[in-house]
Amino acid sequence: MNKTNPNQDKTVNTVTGASTIALWQRHDLCHAKEDWLAEEAPVALVYNGISHVVMMASPKDLELFALGFSLSEGIIDSPAEIYGMDVFPVCNGLEVQIELSSRRFMGLKERRRTLAGRTGCGVCGVEQLNDIGRPIAPLPFTQTFDLNNLDAALNQMRDYQPVGQLTGCTHAALWLNESGTIQDGKEDIGRHVALDKLLGARGRAGWHNGAVLVSSRASYEMVQKSAQCGVEILFAVSAATTLAVEVAQRCNLTLIGFSKPGRATVYTHPQRLKA
């Protein structure tokens, strides 16, 4: 059987975050055909010249990722505390150089920790287990959401996953306003990174009224990131974990899982919702 090398025809498309590659299908192992794969790259976030974290991510919307990560990890409270940002290709990956205000950089150095990529696990690389449950001020009860407006957003989620439509390999995070209209959506190979990108876009745009919808399960970290950024309502397409529910209950976040057309399971604080 004469098989060609599927990697010979690989091309790179960093604009979309996907590349084409020749590959074989089960029904025809003799002929390779071109198909799409999602790109994955190590992305280092460097604050004032010091590398803080390296994450595996889709190589697009990286400035929004850096901003959202900085907000959701409590490194900054406002986008105004970042004075500049540049993205550079380095060593088979990408580096986002971030210029923090002096006050915020001093605070970062005080609680410095080494993190590994968290595409799948939010605990990986955290030196202090206590940092998993870092204190977050309880959220106010200022937001409401009519569950009748959820289905339309769910049906449009794929529109915000262009790489996912090509590859079947990304998660999405959407910001919904009070009427259920999608204000923006971001995608990434990692659910946490997709959420950070969305939180960065939200922080830049200044949206406050609304809710987050993610295409994945709801982990404790996604709850914690959302609450840190003042998000009061989080919808997840899949289930929530026990720790996610515990954190949501403690910080007054309304957490909903199994968000599908005609269905929703409310884990915490249902008083924000209308049916």
Between residues 129 and 99, which one has the greater pLDDT?
Answer: 99
pLDDT at 131 over 80: no
Between residues 3 and 36, which one has the greater pLDDT?
Answer: 36
CB 154, CB 259: distance < 8 Å: yes
CB 6, CB 24: distance < 8 Å: yes
Confidence band (pLDDT; 50, 70, 90) for 259? very high
Write down the pLDDT at residue 15: 43
Q: Which of 33-37, 104-108, 118-122, 215-219 has the lowest mean pLDDT?
A: 118-122
Supply 120's token pair: 């799948």
**Domain 147-268: homologous superfamily in CATH:** Cytidine Deaminase, domain 2 (3.40.140.10)
User: Which among 235, 220, 121, 122 is positioned nearest to 173, based on CA atoms?
Assistant: 235
Mean local confidence (pLDDT), 228-252? 97
Write down the pLDDT at residue 146: 97
Domain boundaries defined on the chain: 147-268
Write down the pLDDT at residue 117: 43
Write down the pLDDT at residue 112: 72
Containing 203, the helix (H) or strand (E) segment is helix 191-205
pLDDT digits (tens, 9 = 90+) for 49-64: 999 999 999 999 999 9
Instruction: Please tell me the pTM assigned to this model.
Output: 0.87
> Distance (Å, rounded) from C-alpha 114 to C-alpha 227?
22
Mean local confidence (pLDDT), 175-192? 96
pLDDT cut 90: percent of the chain above it = 83
CB 227, CB 202: distance < 8 Å: no
Write down the pLDDT at residue 132: 61
Query: CA triplet 99, 208, 109: central angle to 5 degrees?
Result: 25
Write down the pLDDT at residue 135: 79
| Phi, psi for residue 194 in degrees, rounded to 5 | -60, -40
The beta-strand segments (E) located in the chain are 11-13, 18-25, 28-38, 41-47, 50-57, 82-90, 93-100, 145-146, 171-176, 182-188, 211-214, 233-236, 254-260, 263-266, 273-274
pLDDT digits (tens, 9 = 90+) for 60-94: 999 999 999 999 999 999 999 999 999 999 988 99
Write down the pLDDT at residue 242: 96
Our answer to whether residue 91 is catalytic in this structure is: no
Can you say which residues are annotated as belonging to the binding site? 258-263
Identify the active-site residue in 30, 91, 121, 124: 121
CB 114, CB 63: distance < 8 Å: no
| Phi, psi for residue 26 in degrees, rounded to 5 | -55, -40
SS (H, E, C) 82-125: EEEEEEEEECCEEEEEEEECHHHHHHHHHCCCCECCCCCCCCCC
pLDDT at 12 over 50: no
CB 70, CB 46: distance < 8 Å: no
pLDDT at 142 over 60: yes
What residues pair up with 35 in beta bridges, in sequence order? 21
Confidence band (pLDDT; 50, 70, 90) for 3? very low
Write down the pLDDT at residue 251: 96
